[in-house]
Chain A
C-alpha cells in the first residue's frame, strides 16, 4: 500500500500526494526555498524536489545528468522494468518523445510538432469554440454547475480525440484511463487498468488505420518513413498514447484552476469581464500561477548537485509550478496580476522537452475562458460545497461547484 503517513518534515520526507501538498503546495515551496531549496524523500523511491526557478530550469537543460526515460512523478513498475507485470501491449520505448532522450526524442518530437504548430492550432479554434458553447448551453440557465466536471474536463479530451482521429463518443472512457494512469498512479491496479485500456484501444485503432487511413495523426504516423524506414509499431503506439495522456488531464486542470481563481477572486473576474483585451496576458498569468504539471527526471550518474548527493536512479521532480512562484524570478509571485507584463513562466517546461502541445493548450484555455466569461460573466464558488483537487503529476480541481445568476 502507498505510504500515506502525514508529512512532518518537508525538507527530508516530502510527499507530493500528502493532502496538504495537494491543497496548498505554495506555502510549502515558500518554506523550502528559504530553508532547503532542494528537498528529498525516500517515500516510494529516492526523489528530489527543487523549488527554485534557476535550479529547475538548469536541471531541465542538463539532459546528460537528468534523463527523461522515466518521467512519472509517482514511481511505478516501469521504474524497474518497462513491461513488468504488464499483460498487454509492450511499450519498450515508453511514450516518446516525452519519455525519451536524444536521439529518439529528436525525431519523434519532429513528427509531432507540426500537428501542434500555431497555424494548425488556429484551425482547431472553431471546433473548440463550438464545443465550449455546447457545454455552456447545458447549464448556463441552471444557475449552478460543476465548472471542473461539467466544463473543463469535457473540452481538451474532445479536441485531442479529433486530432487523433478517434471517436469523441468515448471521451469519458479516455478521461477515465488518463486519470487512472496519472491521478491514481499510487494504486498499481488502477494504474495498470488505465494503461491496458488505453494501449489496447490504440492497438486496435492502429490496425484500423492500416486498413482505412485518414488524415489524422495516427494515420500519418503509420505511413511516415524516417531514414527510409517505417516507424516501429511500438513507437507509434507510445506516441499515440502520449498525445492522449498529455493532452487531457493537463489542460483540463489549467482550465479548472483558472475558473477556480476567477470564482474565488471577484476583483479579477470583474476586471477580465470588463477588459477582455487582457485575456491573452491573463492566460499566461493563470498558467504561471497554477501551472498544473510536474514531470520527473532520472539521475544518470552519481553527482553532487548544489550540495545534494544525488545517486544514479534517483528521481528529480521537475517542479515547474514552484519555479513559477519563485520570488527571485517573479515580482510578487503569489499575487495573480492579470496584466503581468514580464512573465517568463515555465508552465510548459523548459529546454528540449518544452510541452509539444503548448500552443494547443494555450488556445484551449483561452477559448474556454472567453466563452465562459461571455456567457457567465458573474459567478462564484458555491458556499458550503466541497471542492476537490487532484495532485501529484497534475494538479487541478476535479469538483468545482460554482453558482451564478
Chain B
C-alpha cells in the first residue's frame, strides 16, 4: 500500500499523527508527511483509519 498527504489540503489537524505516528509525522508548522514509502500489512488498517479521520480529506491511498 502507498499513501500520500496532499500538502495543499493538509491544515495541520494532526489526527493522522495521533492515530499512526509510525506512518506520519507533522512538522512544526502542522504540515503532515508520510514516513514510509510502502505501508506494511500490519500498519494498513491504521493507515485507513488516518484516511477516514482527516477532516480535510488530505490523505489518499495511491495504491492498495
B53 CB contact (under 8 Å) in A118, A343, A348, A350:
A343
**B26 and A350 contacting across the interface, CB-CB below 8 Å:** no
**Please, which residues of chain B bring their CB within 8 A of the CB of A118?**
14, 17, 26
CB of A348 within 8 A of CB of B29, answer no
Chain B facing A: main interface SS: loop
Let me know if B52 is at the binding interface, CB within 8 A: yes
By the criterion CB–CB under 8 Å, are B28 and A114 in contact? yes
**In the complex, which residues of chain B have a beta carbon less than 8 angstroms from the beta carbon of A343?**
53
A358 at the interface (CB under 8 A from B): yes
Tell me, yes or no, whether B40 is within 8 Å of chain A by CB: no
Q: Are B12 and A119 in contact (CB under 8 A)?
A: no
Q: How far is the CA of A59 from the CA of B18 in the complex (A)?
A: 27
User: How many inter-chain residue pairs (CB < 8 Å) link A and B?
Assistant: 51
Given contacts A113-B28, A117-B27, A118-B26, contact A354 B11 (CB under 8 A): yes
Q: A118-B14, A284-B15, A351-B11 are in contact. Are A344 and B29 (CB under 8 A)?
A: no
Report Cα–Cα, A117/B17, bound state, in Å.
12
Interchain CA distance A351-B29 in the complex, whole Å: 14
Chain B residues whose CB sits within 8 angstroms of the CB of A114 once the complex forms: 28-29
Within 8 A of B (CB), among A113-151: 113-114, 117-120
Q: How far is the CA of A343 from the CA of B11 in the complex (A)?
A: 16
Output the least CB separation between B25 and chain A (Å): 9
Q: Find residues 25-61 in chain B having any chain A CB closer than 8 Å to their own CB.
A: 26-30, 49, 52-57
Asked if B52 contacts A342 (CB within 8 A), the reply is: yes
Query: Does residue B13 face the partner (Cβ distance < 8 Å to A)?
Result: yes
Interface centre among B30, B52, B54 (most CB of A within 10 A): B30
Given A113-B12, A284-B15, A358-B14, does the pair A344, B30 have CB atoms closer than 8 Å?
Answer: no
CA distance A352 to B58 in the complex (A): 13
Q: List 25 A-B contacts (CB under 8 A).
A: A57-B55, A110-B29, A113-B30, A114-B29, A117-B30, A118-B17, A118-B26, A119-B28, A120-B28, A280-B18, A284-B15, A341-B52, A342-B49, A342-B53, A343-B53, A344-B52, A344-B53, A344-B57, A346-B55, A348-B13, A350-B55, A350-B56, A352-B11, A358-B13, A362-B18
Closest 4 CB pairs of A and B: A114-B28, A354-B11, A117-B28, A342-B52
Q: Which of B's residues lie within 8 Å of A, judged by CB? A: 11-15, 17-18, 26-30, 49, 52-57
Given contacts A284-B15, A358-B13, 6 further A-B contacts (CB under 8 A): A117-B27, A118-B14, A341-B49, A343-B53, A354-B13, A362-B18
Where the two chains meet, the residues of A that have a C-beta atom closer than 8 Å to any C-beta of B are: 57, 110, 113-114, 117-120, 280, 284, 341-346, 348, 350-352, 354, 358-359, 362
